[in-house]
Amino acid sequence: SWRGRFWGGIADDLSQGARVLEVGVGTGKNLPYWPKGVSMTAVDLTPGMLSRARVRAASLGLEAEILEGDVQALEFLEASFDLAAATFVFCSVPDPVRGLRELGRVVRPGGPIWLMEHVRSQDPRVGRLMDLLNPLVVRMMGFNINRDTIGNVTRAGLHLDRVDDLGVAGIFKIIRARARTPDGGG
């Protein structure tokens, strides 16, 4: 599964006791894939989804801090986490660059930031179709299908490490970035 692949890559980036932040936890679809032996914190904007995530965490026997929060204005100190992750979140964040900057702020300098997102296709025909359909999708579903998330990662000042294509017309990607270090590097 894509989620298994995503969280498997994250697990390779972690040491025992690491502090991990998942933004946009929703109802907790990722919880079964969370790495073991780390300290998990998860945030989401929607109280109803958070309630379902808490129930799912309890049913899986997971201990985690599951809090209401907005990725655009996280209530954590700088460098509070060793790693941050989000799956299919930045398609619906009103100001994605601001949200990505916040991840860069709350992750330790040089710490990894993992995203699994759908992005605007590089195929000109598919990309134009996505642009055309986007207003309808936003009205009906609440998320954008034509975001330039890879570009937003660099616009947010994060260091882009790699982008893995998950197939399906090049629309689905796993992105690994890093918070900048004080000298501006990754």
Residues counted in the chain? 186
pTM value is 0.92
Q: What digits encode the pLDDT tens for the residues 134-181?
A: 888 888 888 878 889 999 999 999 999 999 999 877 899 999 999 988
Residue 9's SS3 state is helix
120 near 131, Cβ under 8 Å? yes
Helix, strand, coil share (%) of the chain residues, nearest 5: 35, 25, 40
Q: How would you classify residue 5: left for phi > 0, otherwise alpha for psi between -120 and 50, otherwise beta?
A: alpha
Instruction: Collect all residues with Cβ–Cβ distance below 8 Å to 125 and sequence separation of at least 6.
Output: none
Query: What distance in Å separates the CA atoms of residue 130 and residue 152, rounded to the nearest whole number?
Result: 18
pLDDT band at 185 (very low <50, low <70, confident <90, very high): low
Q: What is the mean pLDDT of the chain?
A: 93
Q: What digits encode the pLDDT tens for the residues 95-114?
A: 999 999 999 999 999 999 99
Q: What digits encode the pLDDT tens for the residues 7-27?
A: 999 998 888 889 999 999 999
Q: What pLDDT score was predicted for residue 145?
A: 80
34 near 65, Cβ under 8 Å? no
- Extract the tokens encoding 35: 């790495």
